[in-house]
Chain A
Amino acid sequence: MNTHRYFPHTPQDITRMLDRCGATALSDLWADIPEELRLKHPYDIPAGLSEDSLRAYFDALMSDVKPLVCFAGNGFYDHYTPAVIQDIARRSEFLTAYTPYQPEISQGTLQYIFEYQSMICELTGLDVANASLYDGSTATAEAMLMCVAAARKRNRVLLSATVNDATRAVVATYARYHGINLDIIPETDLGVTDLEAMKKMLDKGDVAGAIFASPNRHGIIEDFTGVADALHSSKSLMALNTHASALGLLHTPAEWGADIAIGEAQSLGMPVNFGGPGLGYMAVTKALMRKMPGRVVGATTDANGQRVFVLTLQAREQHIRREKATSNICSNQGLMTLWAAAYLALMGAEGLAEVNRLSHNGACALRKALSDTGKVKDAFPGQPILNEFEVETIGIDADAVIKAGIEQGILAGVKTDDNRLLIAVTERRTPEQINRLVNLFKSL
C-alpha cells in the first residue's frame, strides 16, 4: 500500500518490521481481536484531501460566516491581540510539547507557566495561582468544589444571580451531579447582588462559600464592602469572578478580601475564536494553597545550582488521589498561559490600564449617545460600569435591533431579554463604528 504523507513507512519497511515481529500481515498483529468486533466496512469518509483542496474546503466554510463589528461581550471581549504572540505560540518547541513531566527538557513550558502564575498573582493580589483551568466557567465550578472540599462538612454554596449566564449554567451542572446544594443569591432592582439577602442566607452557618462576579452579567462593577467579613465570620469562603483584563483597573479580589479569584482570561490578548480556546485562571490565599485544583509550577534548584522550575505540590492532584480527588483536572490550557504572559509583558501595567481606560471611555460615550437617541434607556442608570452595559429598548425588540445590525455589518450586542441588550466596547472600537451603532438605533 502507499501510505499517507504523514506516515514514513514504505512497503519494504512494513515487510521488514513484520518479519521482526514474526508476522506476515499487519492484521496478524490484531488477530486477538474477535472477528465480530473488527471494522466491518471501510469508513464512510471520503478520500484524503491535498493541502490545496483542504484550504479550499475551509475557505468555503469560512466564506459562509458574516464578519461583524463586535459590540458583544458577555465574558468574551474583542481586545487587541498583538501579532508577536501568535508567532511565539507557533514555535513548535512550545506547541508540540506535552505536559512538562520531564523538567530537564521542559524548562521552556515550565518557565512561561511560572511567569503566568506570577502575573495572575499580581493581577488578583492573591498569594498563589495555578497553571490555569479550561475556561472562566469551569474555573468557577472548580472554585465551588474547592469551597466544599475546604469546608469539609459543609455542602452548601451560594452563587450570585449576577454571575453571567454561561458560568451559572456550568456551575449548576457541576453542583447537580456532585450533590452540592447550590443556592442563588437574588439580585436587587439595581442589578447587583442583594447583600442583605446574602447575609440572611448565612444564618444557619452551613455555607461553605459564596461566589460573586464583578463586572457582573449586566456589566456593573459591584461593591463588596463588608462581604468578606460577613462570610468569614460565618467561616465561609468568598470567591470572586472577574474577566482578567478588568483586574488591571478594578479593586482586586484580594483587596475585597476574597479567598479565591477565578475568571476568564481570554481578554488577555486572545482572539474571540468563536468561544475557544480561552483560559480559566484561579488564584487563592496561601491558606488554601494545598486545596487548589490543577497543576502548579514552582521554583527549585538543580544539581548544577541553577534556578529551575518543576511541577510541584502534586500530592493534591487527581492522578495521585484517584477516587479521593476533589477535582478531576489533569492538564491546563498550556499554550494559552503563554498568550496571557506574553500579552501582559507587552502591555505592562500601564498598557493594561490604558486598555481599560480607552474601553471604558468608549463604553461611556456610547452609553450616553444611545440614551440620547430615545430608542433605549439604561437598564441600570447610574450604576458604575467598566466596558459593558445593559440597555432596555423602547418600542422595539432586541431581536429587531440585532437583525438590523447584522444587515449593516454590526453585532449590536448580546440579547439578554426580549427588550434588553448587553453592549460591550473595547479599545478597538472606533468613533466611526460607534456612530454607526448609534445611527442604527436612530434608524429603528
Chain B
Amino acid sequence: MNRTFYSSLIMDLSRAGRRGYALDDHGFENDNSIPGHLLRDSAPILPQVDEPTLVRHYTNLSTNNFGVDTGFYPLGSCTMKYNPKINEEIASDRRIAALHPCQPAETVQGALRAYDRLQHLLSEIGGMTRFTLNPYAGAHGELTGLMIIHAYHDDHGDLKRTRVIVPDSAHGTNPASAAVAGYSIVEVKSRHDGTIDPEDLKSKLDDTIAAVMMTNPNTVGMFEKNIPEIARMAHEAGALMYYDGANLNPMLGVARPGDMGFDVMHINLHKTFSTPHGGGGPGAGPVGVRAGLEKYLPCPRVDFNTVSGMYEVVTDDKNSMGHISSWLGNYTVELKALAYILSLGGQGLAQAGPLAILNANYIKDSLSDLYLLPIEGRCKHEFVFDGLKDKSTGVTTLHVAKRLLDHGFHAPTIYFPLLFHESLMIEPTETESPETLDRFIAVMREIALEAANDPDKVKDAPLYTPVRHPDDTEAAVNPRLNYRSL
C-alpha cells in the first residue's frame, strides 16, 4: 500500500484528441440505414486517454487497495484464503475466452466435461447427489436453492408452505433470499451459546413451513450438534433443510452437509474453493441437492448421454425450477475452483478444514484474556469477540478494527452477527502462517493495552492510512454517485 493517496479519476486524465485503441477498418461500405431518430441525440462523454496513461492510472489506483496478497485479511464469514496463481493462468486460456455460450455441445465437449467434473467433485465434498454451477454468487445460490424447494413443494401439490424458518444469527442474505423467493420469514432465536434451541424450532414447525435455513458451523463459528434432531423434526413436518454454505470451509475433511441431513445447499466458490473475490465479484454459488431433487435443478443443465458418450446441454425441462442465469454461470470462476480442488486433491482438501479450525482456535485462545468471548468452547473456522473485555475505556469494536488498519491488517467483520453489541468476527483461514497469526495476536494485545492507556489514540484510528475517516453521512445526505455530480 502507498502511504500517499492517489486520488485521480480516469476522467481527470482525459484530454481531447487522445485515444487508446486501434481498430481495423475492413472496408465494408458505410451503411446509413438506421433512421436518425433511433440514434443517440449526442455522443456520450467518455474519457479520452492513451494506453500508457491508462495503465499507470490503474496501477496507481491498485496501490490504494488491500488484498489477500497484500496482507492478513481476517474478515469473518468471508474466508479470505490465498488465491493460487496457477488457477488464473488456467482460467485465462485463450481457447476458453473465445468460446461462445451458444456453440453447439458437440464442439465444446471439453468445456462441458470440466463443468461436469466440478459438479461431481462438489457433490462428493458436500455429500449431495448433484450440483448446478449456474448461480453467480452465494446469495444467488440461496435464491436458487429456495426456488428448488418451492418447485419441490409445488410439484407435490403442497401449496400452503409459504414460510421459511431462519435463525436470528443468519447471514442477512438468508431472509432476503427467502423474501425474493416469495416466502415470509419465521425467526428462531439463538440460545446463549449461539446455537438453535430445538424446542423453539419445534414449536414453530408446522405444515406451512417450506424450509429451515441453517449455517453450520453457524455465524458465531459453533457447530450445531443438534443438527440430526433438527433435520429429523423438519423432515417430519414436511419441510426441507437448506444449508448456507458460506461457512463450509472448516468442514473440509471433517464432515459433509449431506450426512447432517441437509437436502439443498449452496457453496461459495469464492470462499471455500479459493477463487478471488475481485473486490465484490465475480463469484459463484453452485447449488447441490440430495437424491430425488435433481429434476428441479435449473436449466441449462449439463447431462452426460451414456448412449452417445457425449455431454449435452439441456435448456428446457418441465420439472426444472426454471432458469436463473443466461448461460452456465461464471464459467471461468468455475474453472478456477476446479483447478483448486484438483491441486489439493482429496488429501489436501482434508487438511484445509482442520488447519482453518486450528488457526481460529489459536487466535481465540491467545486473546480471550483481553477480548470478551461471549461463547466459550472450541470454535470452528471463526469466532466472535464481543469487543474488548474492559468496557470502561469507551473503545469500541469499530475503533479496534480501524486501529488494525494502521498495523497493516485488514479489519475483521464488525457488528455482525447481530447477537452481540460489539461483534468482532475473526476468520483466519488455513493459508495464514503461525508467524502471521502471532503478529496479529501481538497487535491485538497492543491495541487492548493502548485502549487502557491512551484510549483517544485508538478512537482516532486509523492514523496512518492515506485516507482517514470518510464522512459516511455526507455521502448519504448529499449523494454524489457519478462524475457529473462532483
Q: Is B449 an interface residue (CB 8 A)?
A: no
Q: Is A166 an interface residue (CB 8 A)?
A: yes
Asked if residues A384 and B325 are in contact (CB atoms below 8 Å), the reply is no
Distance in Å: Cβ of A412 to nearest Cβ of chain B:
10
Q: Which among A97, A106, A129, A172 has the greatest number of chain B C-beta atoms within 10 A?
A: A97
Q: Which one of B139-147, B197-205, B234-242, B451-459 contacts A?
A: B139-147
Asked if residues B357 and A26 are in contact (CB atoms below 8 Å), the reply is yes
The closest CB in chain B to the CB of A100 belongs to B279
The interface residues of chain A lying within 8 Å CB-to-CB of B299 are: 169
Per the bound structure, the CA–CA distance linking A440 and B121 in Å amounts to: 42
The closest CB in chain B to the CB of A318 belongs to B176
Asked if residues A135 and B326 are in contact (CB atoms below 8 Å), the reply is yes
Distance in Å: Cβ of B251 to nearest Cβ of chain A:
9
Asked if residues A61 and B113 are in contact (CB atoms below 8 Å), the reply is yes
Q: Is B161 an interface residue (CB 8 A)?
A: no
Asked if residues A298 and B20 are in contact (CB atoms below 8 Å), the reply is no
The interface residues of chain B lying within 8 Å CB-to-CB of A174 are: 180
Distance in Å: Cβ of B7 to nearest Cβ of chain A:
6
Asked if residues B137 and A3 are in contact (CB atoms below 8 Å), the reply is no
The interface residues of chain A lying within 8 Å CB-to-CB of B173 are: 318-319, 328, 330
The interface residues of chain B lying within 8 Å CB-to-CB of A43 are: 124-125, 253, 346, 349-350
Q: Is B307 an interface residue (CB 8 A)?
A: no
Asked if residues A384 and B467 are in contact (CB atoms below 8 Å), the reply is no
Per the bound structure, the CA–CA distance linking A429 and B278 in Å amounts to: 32
The interface residues of chain B lying within 8 Å CB-to-CB of A99 are: 277, 279-280
Asked if residues A94 and B331 are in contact (CB atoms below 8 Å), the reply is no
The interface residues of chain A lying within 8 Å CB-to-CB of B469 are: 302-303
Asked if residues B179 and A323 are in contact (CB atoms below 8 Å), the reply is yes
Per the bound structure, the CA–CA distance linking A402 and B100 in Å amounts to: 14
The closest CB in chain A to the CB of B259 belongs to A37
Per the bound structure, the CA–CA distance linking A237 and B20 in Å amounts to: 38
Considering only residues 61-76 of chain A, those with a C-beta below 8 Å from chain B are 61-68, 70, 72, 74-76
Q: Which among A18, A322, A350 has the greatest number of chain B C-beta atoms within 10 A?
A: A322
Residues of chain B at interface, number, CB under 8 A:
196
The interface residues of chain B lying within 8 Å CB-to-CB of A119 are: 44, 46
Asked if residues B481 and A128 are in contact (CB atoms below 8 Å), the reply is yes
**Among the listed A3, A96, A302, A330, which residue makes an inter-chain contact with B468, where contact means beta carbons less than 8 Å apart?**
A302
Q: Which among A172, A308, A347 has the greatest number of chain B C-beta atoms within 10 A?
A: A308
Per the bound structure, the CA–CA distance linking A357 and B39 in Å amounts to: 12
Asked if residues A173 and B322 are in contact (CB atoms below 8 Å), the reply is yes
Asked if residues B38 and A223 are in contact (CB atoms below 8 Å), the reply is yes
A300 in contact with B184 given A250-B40, A320-B172, A347-B21 (CB within 8 Å): no
Q: Is A16 an interface residue (CB 8 A)?
A: yes
The interface residues of chain A lying within 8 Å CB-to-CB of B29 are: 361, 364-365
Q: Is B48 an interface residue (CB 8 A)?
A: yes
Asked if residues B259 and A40 are in contact (CB atoms below 8 Å), the reply is yes
The interface residues of chain B lying within 8 Å CB-to-CB of A87 are: 55
Asked if residues A129 and B481 are in contact (CB atoms below 8 Å), the reply is yes
A411 in contact with B472 given A135-B136, A177-B150, A361-B29 (CB within 8 Å): no
Considering only residues 339-372 of chain B, those with a C-beta below 8 Å from chain A are 339, 341-352, 354-355, 357-359, 361-362, 365-366
Per the bound structure, the CA–CA distance linking A135 and B331 in Å amounts to: 13
Q: Which among B33, B43, B66, B70 has the greatest number of chain A C-beta atoms within 10 A?
A: B66
Distance in Å: Cβ of B27 to nearest Cβ of chain A:
7
Asked if residues B102 and A108 are in contact (CB atoms below 8 Å), the reply is no
Considering only residues 244-274 of chain A, those with a C-beta below 8 Å from chain B are 247-252, 255, 264, 271-274
Asked if residues B111 and A91 are in contact (CB atoms below 8 Å), the reply is no
The interface residues of chain A lying within 8 Å CB-to-CB of B291 are: none
**Among the listed B100, B109, B331, B361, which residue makes an inter-chain contact with A29, where contact means beta carbons less than 8 Å apart?**
B361
Asked if residues B479 and A298 are in contact (CB atoms below 8 Å), the reply is yes
Asked if residues A13 and B326 are in contact (CB atoms below 8 Å), the reply is no
Asked if residues A278 and B326 are in contact (CB atoms below 8 Å), the reply is yes
Q: Is A395 an interface residue (CB 8 A)?
A: no
Per the bound structure, the CA–CA distance linking A103 and B474 in Å amounts to: 14
A115 in contact with B176 given A68-B107, A251-B40 (CB within 8 Å): no
Asked if residues B80 and A4 are in contact (CB atoms below 8 Å), the reply is no
Asked if residues A121 and B282 are in contact (CB atoms below 8 Å), the reply is no
Asked if residues B83 and A95 are in contact (CB atoms below 8 Å), the reply is yes
Distance in Å: Cβ of B335 to nearest Cβ of chain A:
7
The interface residues of chain B lying within 8 Å CB-to-CB of A61 are: 110-111, 113-114
Per the bound structure, the CA–CA distance linking A350 and B43 in Å amounts to: 8
Per the bound structure, the CA–CA distance linking A272 and B97 in Å amounts to: 6
The interface residues of chain B lying within 8 Å CB-to-CB of A335 are: 276, 278-282
Q: Is B61 an interface residue (CB 8 A)?
A: yes
A304 in contact with B468 given A6-B82, A114-B482 (CB within 8 Å): yes
The interface residues of chain B lying within 8 Å CB-to-CB of A86 are: 92
Asked if residues A65 and B172 are in contact (CB atoms below 8 Å), the reply is no
Distance in Å: Cβ of A19 to nearest Cβ of chain B:
10
Q: Is A189 an interface residue (CB 8 A)?
A: no
The interface residues of chain B lying within 8 Å CB-to-CB of A178 are: 180-182
Distance in Å: Cβ of B177 to nearest Cβ of chain A:
4
Distance in Å: Cβ of A267 to nearest Cβ of chain B:
13
Distance in Å: Cβ of A185 to nearest Cβ of chain B:
19
Asked if residues A97 and B43 are in contact (CB atoms below 8 Å), the reply is no
Asked if residues B1 and A105 are in contact (CB atoms below 8 Å), the reply is yes
The closest CB in chain B to the CB of A336 belongs to B282
Q: Is A8 an interface residue (CB 8 A)?
A: yes
Asked if residues A301 and B471 are in contact (CB atoms below 8 Å), the reply is yes
A251 in contact with B101 given A118-B482, A348-B48 (CB within 8 Å): no
The interface residues of chain B lying within 8 Å CB-to-CB of A336 are: 278, 281-282
**Among the listed B9, B75, B184, B282, which residue makes an inter-chain contact with A114, where contact means beta carbons less than 8 Å apart?**
B9
Q: Is B394 an interface residue (CB 8 A)?
A: no
Q: Is B430 an interface residue (CB 8 A)?
A: yes
A29 in contact with B103 given A328-B177, A361-B30 (CB within 8 Å): no
Distance in Å: Cβ of A214 to nearest Cβ of chain B:
8
**Among the listed B38, B256, B410, B431, which residue makes an inter-chain contact with A384, where contact means beta carbons less than 8 Å apart?**
B38
The 10 closest A-B pairs by CB, nearest first: A275-B327, A48-B345, A64-B110, A108-B65, A275-B101, A173-B322, A334-B280, A319-B172, A96-B67, A335-B278
Q: List 11 A-B contacts (CB under 8 A).
A: A33-B254, A44-B124, A48-B344, A102-B405, A170-B324, A177-B150, A273-B97, A309-B470, A312-B476, A323-B179, A350-B48
